[in-house]
Structure 1
């Protein structure tokens, strides 16, 4: 009987998509959500960053709730966080805050000043 229950649990787990499993983890763990968004931002790919932020927004309340808390329409939020989105800093900051995150700036290791031209 235990083996049958275990097999059913494995089948149920296998039927959950990768995105749904990720969203469930992001919803439960704010530190993971922050690290996920930060890793996407550090890669320097804006589309990847916007996708990561969209997944976090979906996980941490849903797009409608995050849009309302950020002071933008749901449609505008979807457009802003799309692959071709070009969000304003104020919108990004508001979406991060509505998702329980904050933007911060850190010194880049090994860089002491800007290079002159």
Structure 2
């Protein structure tokens, strides 16, 4: 009996972020969870989809620093988060939460 070997690779969200609306919706969903490390990882997905080198230029941070900060293993500084979000062309806005949420 012959076993066929199926080659798989780990899932990478960066491969599925095709346009700005998909990126914005992805980041909105992640923000709803309220986990800073998860937000960092999601921003890392977006950065890889768009190109980490350009993001490094736009933020003034090194690629190595960005890879570490956006790995999702830890929550990056708020300074780094704001630089990355701005450089990606997004802005954060706050809305009151409905009572009971």
What's the RMSD between the two structures over aligned residues?
2.3
Distance 1:85 1:18, change over 3 A: closer
Aligned pair 1:52/2:69, yes or no? no
Moved runs in structure 1, 4+ residues, more than 6 A?
none
Consecutive unaligned residues in structure 1, runs of 5 or more? 1-14, 112-117
How many residue pairs get aligned? The number is 93
SS of residue matched to 1:83 = coil
Matched ranges for 1:31-50 at <5 A:
31-50=21-40
Higher RCO (CA-CA < 8 Å; seq separation 6+): 2
- Taking structure 2 as the reference length, the TM-score comes to 0.74
The C-alpha deviation readout for 1:36-76, integer Å capped at 9, x for no partner, is 1121121123332211110011112x112112101111111
Q: Which has the larger radius of gyration?
A: 1
- Taking structure 1 as the reference length, the TM-score comes to 0.65
Matched ranges for 1:1-117 at <5 A:
18-19=11-12, 22-26=13-17, 28-60=18-50, 62-110=51-99
More helix by percentage:
1
